[in-house]
């Protein structure tokens, strides 16, 4: 019997992959372990990502996007152009608050 589809499958797979990388490391994460943890078939993972490295690329891209958005939030109240020292501070604060980016 086929497994039921999950809403926002791609985001769910990214969430699961990120958690597995943080818990076990990239080498221990597999497409099968992502599928099992997400409750989808391995084919469902491959429908979204061509392979393990493409999945990691997507996880890292999402994290860097999240990091950039956090820096924007932290500097939104500052006058433009934002001083380089303030950008560095915001970048470090955002980096340290993100578990994946801190681990990387």
Write the CB contacts of 101 (distance below 8 Å, at least 6 apart in sequence): 63, 64, 67, 94, 95
pLDDT classification of 104: cutoffs 50, 70, 90: confident
49 Rama sector, left if φ>0, alpha if ψ -120 to 50, beta otherwise: beta
Range of the domain at 31: 9-103
Could you tell me if residue 94 is inside a domain? Answer: yes
Could you tell me if residue 2 is inside a domain? Answer: no
Q: What is the CATH number of the domain that holds 39?
A: 1.10.357.10
pLDDT classification of 102: cutoffs 50, 70, 90: confident
Q: How many domains does the chain have?
A: 1
Could you tell me if residue 4 is inside a domain? Answer: no
pLDDT at 98 exceeding the cut of 80: yes
The pLDDT of 54-69, averaged and rounded, is 96
Residues 30-44 have pLDDT tens digits of 999 999 999 999 999
């Amino acid at each position: 019997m086929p497994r039921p589809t999950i809403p926002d499958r791609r985001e769910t797979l990214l969430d699961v992959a990120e958690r597995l990388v943080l818990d076990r490391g990239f080498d221990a994460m597999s497409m099968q372990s992502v599928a099992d943890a997400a409750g989808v078939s391995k084919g469902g993972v491959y429908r979204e990502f061509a392979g393990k490295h493409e999945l990691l690329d997507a996880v890292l891209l999402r994290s860097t996007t999240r990091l950039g958005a956090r820096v924007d939030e932290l500097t939104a109240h500052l006058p433009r152009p934002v001083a380089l020292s303030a950008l560095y501070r915001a970048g470090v604060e955002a980096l340290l608050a993100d578990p994946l980016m801190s681990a990387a």
